Chain A
Amino acid sequence: MELERLVVVWCPELQQEGARGEEARRFVHVVARTGELCPWAHPIRLGVCALPARGPARFFGGEEMVVSRLVEAVGEDVHVGVADGLFAAVLAARAQLIVPAGEVRQFLAPWSVATLARPELAVTLQRLGVTTLGQFAALPSPHVSDRFGADAAAAHLVARGESGELAGIRDRSIERRLRVARGEDPDRGSEPLPTQPGFFGGASAGDRRAALSFARVQGRLGVEAVLLGRIRGGRDPAEQAAMVPWGSPEAGTAGVSSAPWPGRLPPPSPTEVLRSPRRVEVIDDAGAACGVSGRGLLNGEPARLSVGGGPWQAITAWAGPWPVTERWWSTRRRRARVQVVTADGVARLLCAERAQWWIEALYD
């Protein structure tokens, strides 16, 4: 799964609560100013607040612009960084860096295993000569979970750049602490209402109740975990639809453009559109690989398929090919799409380029 790209605002002076509780009050101010710029910012723990990067980057014209606008707007001494996943984004903020998408693992490699905030694990690893996240990431996963347990396995995924969430990064009581700092009743549960710009013109009681439950899920799983579907037209099943985070400005316009799109497959549409298409082999009666010719025609009649090296299944019906002449996966290539039904009654949408086939979508 792709990690959520996040902007983190990190306040060096506000990491620890002092005797007078002034840090929490100052942090309330930081969260408020950040929220004015990007309404879906939320506090992670004292001195750390995060927001999804994609929306604001589009809005302000790039991640650099978001960072400089934030530094300007907040006023406090803040460090701002951008990276994939919360763990890396917090470190990026400390280092005031924008880590390019997909380069989390390289970015994390030189940092000390102490950054995982697991002192016992860090000591054990250092005794074994494993001092950096890069060395930790290089250990084989089964060994890590066997030897150090589930929590270390989770930390290992983080070091490998495959996960951004680590128990302990988020302070579950931060909203409550900020309510205290704002002088509100901490137990009233009156979190500031998360809003859906452009949609909750006049929010009903039901809308407010729903909004609070969505915010709770976002607190649990991250801001981009709660999505609205939106249809924008297009020929590819994957291109026709978009998912936008609930609460982001784009979500305000979520909805359907019902205009039929020329060249798209007729309904019914697939219920599962795979974000990462799966490889599948397709052969004809003689056992030869089927493929698509330069003119977008099939050579050979599809007779059997095997998903990811699994058992061969007989193809009982198929239709197409529908040529894909558009840009697809960012390279201009000759591809074709074929609907296929196997003997078990299951229908799939396949996509072929020359002799290579993928499952693009499922009809469940």
Chain B
Amino acid sequence: MFAFTPRKVPVGLADQVRPTTPVAGRLLPVPVPLAPLFPDGALRRGTTTTVAGLPGHGATTLALALLAAASQAGSWCAAVGLSDPGVVAAAELGIDLRRVVFVPHPGSGWAGAAGDLLPGVDVVLVRPPGRARQTAARHLSARARERQAALVVLVEHVGDWPEGGDLALSVGAIEWEGIGRGHGHLQGRRAQVRVGGRRSAGRAMERSFWLPAGSGAVAVAGPGPEPGPEAA
């Protein structure tokens, strides 16, 4: 009897045979805690997702986290315009640094650089310097659609991306935990994230996350006061 049981895979093998080619299919994975923000539970190829937040409110953390699962699954990713990226923070968020290129100082060539990258990588994160021009925004979103890449745009205000995103995430109220007046240390930032945009139709909602939690990764935060981010 040589019955073939294709479903049975030795534990750990999945990690070893992790794909090195870009993830096939129309969806690119996001970290599990963030999946509820997306109508498909993942980043959809060809779409634009905006991540908005005032400086210091965790929008960079949220945007970088969107590269974590995709890079681990073997997708190439790029981050354009993050001028001094915290590489350690990126690793703590779960990003596979071997799969992510940074273009920290594109200057006025930010849109050109992002346009060059969209045909080559699966996720392009771009931070325009201030409000983007309508033509640049329209061109990049169209190019993402045409090349079936996911475009993630990091802005201060939702309106800074004139085209609007297929999905618009924005970070609202935040609060750091673990730090007092002269004791403790920064342990986690509780942040309210709102979802809007064309593809969210009727699903507009708000959720609490740790951006990031004590480990440096993102996590879901409960609604009320909690013992501390380590528990998340």
Contacts and interface: CB of A to CB of B under 8 A. Distances in A.
Contacts of A217: 103, 113, 116-117
Contacts of A318: 179, 181-182
A221 B216 contact: no
B97 A225 contact: no
Given A217-B116, A243-B87, A364-B59, A317 B101 contact: no
* Chain A contact residues, majority secondary structure: mixed
B98 A240 contact: no
A241 B86 CA distance: 8
B196 interface: no
Interface in A156-213: 199, 204-207, 209-213
A229 B74 CA distance: 16
Contacts of B112: 220
Contacts of B142: none
Contact of B97 (A212, A240, A255): A255
Band of interface residues on A: 35 or more
Nearest to A258: B91
A265 B89 CA distance: 12
A35 interface: no
Interface in B39-83: 53-61, 64, 74, 76, 82-83
Contacts of B135: none
A280 interface: no
B129 interface: no
Interface in B183-209: 183-189
B119 interface: yes
Given A221-B109, A363-B186, A231 B85 contact: no
Interface string B2-31: 000000000000000000111000000000
A230 B91 CA distance: 9
B216 A272 contact: no
Contacts of A1: 105
Contacts of B109: 220-221
B85 A209 contact: no
B56 A345 contact: yes
A333 interface: no
Interface string B110-125: 0011001111110000
Nearest to A364: B60
Contact of A345 (B105, B121, B174, B184): B174
A127 interface: no
A303 B56 CA distance: 19
Interface in B142-182: 173-176, 179-182
A343 to B, nearest CB: 12
Contacts of B38: none
Interface string A252-267: 0011100000000111
B120 A214 contact: yes
B128 interface: no
B97 A209 contact: no
Given A204-B20, A210-B76, A364-B58, A227 B179 contact: no
A229 B187 CA distance: 24
A296 to B, nearest CB: 15
A199 B98 contact: yes
Interface in A342-359: 344-348
Nearest to B117: A213
A73 interface: no
A346 B214 CA distance: 17
Contact of B103 (A221, A267, A268, A339): A221
B88 to A, nearest CB: 4
Contact of B61 (A229, A231, A271): A271
B91 A268 contact: no
Given A204-B20, A364-B60, A213 B119 contact: yes
B182 A347 contact: no
A319 B183 contact: yes
B113 A347 contact: no
Contact of A339 (B91, B186, B188, B216): B186
Give the interface centre of B22, B119, B182 by most chain A CB atoms within 10 Å.
B182
Given A225-B113, A229-B100, A364-B59, 14 more contacts: A213-B119, A220-B116, A225-B105, A227-B104, A228-B98, A229-B91, A240-B87, A241-B88, A243-B104, A268-B92, A269-B88, A347-B179, A348-B56, A363-B61
Interface of B: 20-22, 53-61, 64, 74, 76, 82-92, 97-98, 100-107, 109, 112-113, 116-121, 173-176, 179-189, 212-216
Interface of A: 1, 199, 204-207, 209-214, 216-217, 220-221, 225-231, 237, 240-243, 246, 254-256, 265-275, 301, 317-320, 339, 341, 344-348, 361-364
9 contacts: A229-B91, A230-B97, A254-B97, A269-B89, A272-B60, A319-B183, A341-B176, A348-B56, A364-B53
| Minimum-distance CB pairs A-B, first 3 | A213-B120, A346-B56, A241-B87
